[in-house]
Structures are given as C-alpha cells and as structure tokens.
Structure 1
Amino acid sequence: MATTNKYMNIFQELSSEIKNGVFEPNSLLPSEHELCERFDTSRETIRKALTLLSQNGFIQKMQGKGSLVLDISKMTFPVTGLVSFKEIQQSLGRDIQTTVHKLELMEAEDWLANQLECPENALTWEVTRARTIQGERVILDKDWLLQSSVPSLTEEICADSIYAYLEGQLGLNISYAKKEITVEPATDEDRALLDLDGYSHIVLVKNFVHLEDTSIFQYTESRHRLDKFKFVDFARRRK
C-alpha cells in the first residue's frame, strides 16, 4: 500500500474511533511505538496521521506526554478564512443535510440596504436554509445576495453550494468578509426551524462578503445553537 494511502487510512480509522468513543475525551492515544506495531508501519507514517488528527481538531499533541484526545462534541468552525458550509461539512465528516425553507427575489428594505451598502429597493435574493447535523437542526443560515451580482439562483443550488455555483459557474471572485459574532435571544423563526433543546439564545455570526473589487454582494446571518459549536482562530503574537 502506498505511504500516502496508508497514513490517510490510519487517520480515518483513528478519527472514526474517536468519534465513536473508543478513545474518550482527555484520554491519551496509544504511543507512536504502539501505533507502529498496531498498523505495521513506520513512525514517519504514524506521525503524518497524527498531524492530520491534530490539524482536524481530534487531538492535541503534548510534548513528552503523547496525543491527548479532544472533546469533539462541539463542532469547530473557523473564525478567520472564508469558506462555504459545504467545505466545512467535508472537514467535519458528519451526517449533514440542508433544507431550503425560502428562496425569494425581493426588494431591499432600508435595514438590508444599509447592510449591503446598496440602494433601497435593489433586487436581492433572500435564502433561508436549515442545517441538520446528526439528526438535529442546529444551524439556520439566512443569506441575502444582490441580483446585480447573482442574476439567477435555484433551490437545487442553494441545497448544494451557493459558493461553488458563484465561483464555478458565474466566475465571481469572492475576496474577503467582515465577521461579527454575538449571542442573541432566539427568535420565533429560530424556535420554529431549529431544535433549540431548551436554549433561549443562539450564537449569531454575521458576514459581510466582498468581491475582488471590494464591493459587498452578500450579507449573511448564520444562527447556531449554543451548545454545538466552538469558533476557533489562530493568533500569532507580534513583537
């Protein structure tokens, strides 16, 4: 078996065991030596698999102690970077479904025109999608996109990946986003479309998304159940 396939297979097997509770949070994985024996492979291959586990949030490598298994009951969402939900879904490796509740072409009201920095009554796509993860509806995504940038949109595209369509089919150059994260009281819509499990608040992530020419073309409100997610960033101290 090729080395690349082998370390990927080891990563997949160990990550599956962590997800299924074979290795509990805050326990240690077997040592590199033990893993070499178990998988009949070199230490280099094991280290590549462990690096992947670390990069994907399954373990924390601790010098002199080994690999500590992390609590993955909360799904990791990046704060920095601009990625589609489908791209996040692929990294989570969980059973995820998208339900499109609304796709409508509307005129921007005053509050939305302020968010999109566009004229009032500009035509805008409004998209509402619920994300079901492991059988629970835990994310409500509400998107508004200017029709001047996105001439057409379908439910099939919204259920799959809007960004794949915008970049792959329309050739848009999506450049950057400003993000705001707050905790807000749940709305009637949240309670109707999400399984809030008794929680009265949600984590609200607002995205103001810009094209390469710096113009805003999308405003998003992504509403998350409080107990299901952790939002992560990587920070380096500047001296």
Structure 2
Amino acid sequence: MPKAKFNDIYEDLKKKIEAHAYPYQSLLPSEHELTEVYDCSRNTVRRALRGLIERGYAQAIQGKGVRVLYQTPEQSTFRIGGIETFQESAARNHLNAETRVIHFSEVRCDEALSDKTGFPAGELLFDIRRVRYLDGKPLILDKNLFRADLVPGLTPEIASHSIYAYIEDTLGMTIVTSKRRMTVERATEEDEALLDLGDYNCLAVITSQVFNDNGIQLEYTVSCHHPERFCFEDTATRQRTTAR
C-alpha cells in the first residue's frame, strides 16, 4: 500500500470500525502492525489513532493498546457532532432522499435580524425554506439564511439538491465551523402542516451558525426535526480537577 497520510489512515480505520471489522471492545492492531500495514511512520499512525480517540471511536488503554468503543447507534438518522449534509445522512442510512423548496427569496438584514442571526445589518441574504423527505416521509423543515455575496448564483434548483455541494464543489469555498444550539420546542401550525407529526406535539430544533475558512459567517439555519428520526450523539471526556 502506498504511503498514506494520517487522515487517510484515520478514515480507513474509521470505516473498518463502523463496518465491525474491528468490533466493539476489541483492540486495534498495535502501532507497529499499523505502520507495516499503511507503510508509514509511527507518528503518522499515532495522529490517526488520536483522531479516533478524540471522536469517541476508541480509547487508549495503558499497557494494552487502543480499544474500540464504537457501537452502531440506534435511531441515528441525523447526527449532531459533525457537519453532515442531508444527502450524506440519507446515503449513510441507505434511504431515498428528496428536498422540496417551499420558499426562496432575498431579504435585507435589518438590526433585529442581525441580532438574532449574527449577520451584519445591511447584508443581502437568501431566505429559503425546505422540507426534507426520507423514503417519502417529511422529517425536517429547514429555515435557511445564506449571505448572497458568499453564495452567488444560488437558485431554487440548487437548493432542492445540495447547497453545500454547490458551495464546496462549484464555488470552491471551504466550510469549517458550525456553532449549534439544540432545543426541544412545541410544534407550530406550520410544523404540523408540513411534517405530518401525528401524535407528536414537539420538535428537536437545531439552530446553526456556519463559518467558512476565513471565519466569515455564511449561513444561519433553524432545522426543525421530526422526533422519530432524531438522535443526539456526543462524546465527552471527564477532566478531573484538584479538590480544594
């Protein structure tokens, strides 16, 4: 195998863990074995393993090696923890995805909207509403605002597929950071009409501010998720402090 960078090794190990080639609670091959498999330095392997540990896929056990912690999550159609698009979520879950644009317009950001979203007052924004379907069932109502000067040429047709694919592949912009807040909120009449909630009267609501590699905010989105297919996942490491 040609020399691999640590990120390539990380992705390969991650895929194998998710496919249960390395089952839950098993030990990964030793650093020495991995350097031979990937034809790389021990430092490169350590960087890849560190990525798995930081993302909760594994844990370093002193004197033993690196133990797999990953378990296939239940009810995890949508994950909070990375910046994953709707299309990527659908592909990961082997589901048929469809996006319907129900509103597309331009709006000038005023002071009130600036305070709410973080966009500078006076900026021209694309105001978009989309309903996301998986296997024919409406599961998400997305309320998006994008800076028009950062996403030139955006159209309803593009919005019905993948705005992120357009931003990254066509415009060549790098999306880096998403600041998120998660709440549980009572469903509005609009939510009930568009998402077919049945007996549910509440939604998981994710409010996001998204920034590019220059640290400039390009997006503010409120995503209202049907509770049947929403799951919050996180990995936390306890840092003990000295008691006083």
Q: Same fold (TM over 0.5)?
A: yes
- CA distance in 1 between counterparts of 2:16 and 2:177 reads 31
Q: Secondary structure at the match of 1:151?
A: coil
Alignment correspondent of 1:194: 195
- CA distance in 2 between counterparts of 1:163 and 1:125 reads 14
Shift of 1:95: 2.1
User: Contact 2:18–2:72 at 8 Å: present in 1 too?
Assistant: no
1:66-116 C-alpha deviation (Å, 9 max, x unpaired):
xxx9684x2342222212211222111112211111111111243421244
Shift of 1:54: 5.0
Where does structure 2 lack aligned partners over 5 or more consecutive residues?
A: 1-13, 27-70
| Runs of 4+ that moved beyond 4 A | 69-72
Shift of 1:212: 1.2
AA aligned opposite 1:96: A
AA aligned opposite 2:167: L
User: Contact 1:115–1:208 at 8 Å: present in 2 too?
Assistant: no
**Identity of counterpart residues, as a percentage?**
31
TM-score, normalised with respect to structure 2: 0.67
Alignment correspondent of 1:184: 185
AA aligned opposite 2:95: R
- CA distance in 2 between counterparts of 1:93 and 1:115 reads 36
1:169-219 C-alpha deviation (Å, 9 max, x unpaired):
111121101110000111122112111112111100011101112121110
Aligned pairs for 1:68-147 (under 5 A) are 72=74, 74-147=75-148
Where does structure 1 lack aligned partners over 5 or more consecutive residues?
A: 1-47, 64-68
TM-score, normalised with respect to structure 1: 0.68
- CA distance in 2 between counterparts of 1:196 and 1:111 reads 31
Aligned pairs for 1:39-58 (under 5 A) are 51-54=17-20
- Structure 1 vs Structure 2 CA RMSD: 2.9
User: Contact 2:77–2:90 at 8 Å: present in 1 too?
Assistant: no
Aligned residues: 185
- CA distance in 2 between counterparts of 1:190 and 1:108 reads 24
- CA distance in 2 between counterparts of 1:52 and 1:118 reads 38
Q: Secondary structure at the match of 2:78?
A: strand
Aligned pairs for 1:146-165 (under 5 A) are 146-165=147-166
Residues 71, 86 of structure 1: CA spacing in aligned structure 2 closer, same or farther, 3 A cutoff?
closer
- CA distance in 2 between counterparts of 1:115 and 1:86 reads 28
Shift of 1:49: 9.3
Q: Secondary structure at the match of 1:191?
A: helix
Moved more, 146-155 or 117-126: 117-126
Moved more, 179-188 or 108-117: 108-117
- CA distance in 2 between counterparts of 1:49 and 1:83 reads 16
User: Contact 2:140–2:226 at 8 Å: present in 1 too?
Assistant: yes
Alignment correspondent of 2:206: 205
Residues 226, 150 of structure 1: CA spacing in aligned structure 2 closer, same or farther, 3 A cutoff?
same
AA aligned opposite 1:190: D
User: Contact 2:96–2:135 at 8 Å: present in 1 too?
Assistant: yes
AA aligned opposite 2:208: N
Does structure 1 residue 236 correspond to structure 2 residue 202? no
Moved more, 107-116 or 120-129: 107-116
AA aligned opposite 1:214: G
Shift of 1:121: 3.7
User: Contact 1:130–1:137 at 8 Å: present in 2 too?
Assistant: yes
